[in-house]
Structure 1
Amino acid sequence: MRLVRHPVLCNYYVTYRCNAKCAFCDIWEKPSPYVTLAEAEANLRDLKRLGVKVIDFTGGEPLLHRQLPELLALAKNLGFLTTVTSNGLLYPKNAEKLRGLIDMLHFSLDSIDRATHDQGRGVACYDFVLESIRVARALGERPDVLFTVFGHNLADLERVYQEITQPNGLLLILNPAFEYGEVETGEQLTDAQLDYLSAFGRRKGVYLNEGFIALRRDGGNHVAAPVCRAASTTLVISPYNELVLPCYHLGQQKFPIDSQLFALYNSAEVQRLAALEGRLPQCEGCTINCYMQPSFAVETSKYFWQALPSTLKYNWEKGTWKQLLRKRPAPLSVG
Structure 2
Amino acid sequence: MRLVHHPVLCNYYVTYRCNAKCSFCDIWEKPSPYVTLEQVEQNLRDLKKLGVSVIDFTGGEPLLHREIDKFLGLARDLGFITTLTTNGMLYPKLAERLKGKVDMLHFSLDSSEKEQHDKGRGVACFDFVMQSIEVAGSLGERPDILFTVFRENLHQLEKVYEEIILPNKLMFILNPAFAYNEVASGENLTGEELDFLSAFGKRKYVYLNEGFIQLRRDGGNHVSDPVCKAASTTLVISPENELVLPCYHLGEKKFPINNNLAALYNSEEVKQQIALEGRLPQCEGCTINCYMQPSFAVEVNKYFWKALPSTLKYNYYKGTWKRMLAN
**TM-score with structure 2 setting the length:** 1.00
Superposition pairs of residues 50-65 of structure 1, within 5 angstroms: 50-65=50-65
- Superposition RMSD in Å: 0.4
> In 1, Cα distance between the equivalents of 2:326 and 2:16?
32
The letter of the residue matching 1:104 is M
Q: Tell me the equivalent position of 1:290.
A: 290
Q: Tell me the equivalent position of 2:251.
A: 251
> In 1, Cα distance between the equivalents of 2:312 and 2:173?
14
Q: Tell me the equivalent position of 2:129.
A: 129
Unaligned runs of 5+ in 1: 328-335
Superposition pairs of residues 1-335 of structure 1, within 5 angstroms: 1-327=1-327
> In 2, Cα distance between the equivalents of 1:90 and 1:120?
18
> In 1, Cα distance between the equivalents of 2:280 and 2:93?
43
Q: Tell me the equivalent position of 1:330.
A: none
The letter of the residue matching 2:228 is C
> In 2, Cα distance between the equivalents of 1:5 and 1:323?
21
Structure 1 residue matching 2:239: 3-state secondary structure: coil
Q: Residues 46-104 of structure 1, C-alpha deviation per residue, up to 9 Å, x if partnerless?
A: 00000000000000000000000000011000000000000000000100000000000
Q: Percent identity?
A: 74
Structure 2 residue matching 1:188: 3-state secondary structure: coil
Q: Residues 243-280 of structure 1, C-alpha deviation per residue, up to 9 Å, x if partnerless?
A: 00000000001000011100000000000000100000
> In 1, Cα distance between the equivalents of 2:227 and 2:181?
19
Q: How much has 1:186 moved relative to structure 2?
A: 2.1
> In 2, Cα distance between the equivalents of 1:207 and 1:180?
23
**TM-score with structure 1 setting the length:** 0.97
The letter of the residue matching 2:71 is L
> In 2, Cα distance between the equivalents of 1:37 and 1:320?
26
> In 2, Cα distance between the equivalents of 1:85 and 1:186?
23
> In 1, Cα distance between the equivalents of 2:86 and 2:39?
23
> In 2, Cα distance between the equivalents of 1:190 and 1:64?
37
Structure 2 residue matching 1:304: 3-state secondary structure: helix
> In 2, Cα distance between the equivalents of 1:205 and 1:323?
20
8 Å CA contact retained: 2:209, 2:310:
yes
Q: Tell me the equivalent position of 1:332.
A: none
The letter of the residue matching 2:151 is G
> In 2, Cα distance between the equivalents of 1:113 and 1:269?
49
Q: How much has 1:314 moved relative to structure 2?
A: 0.4
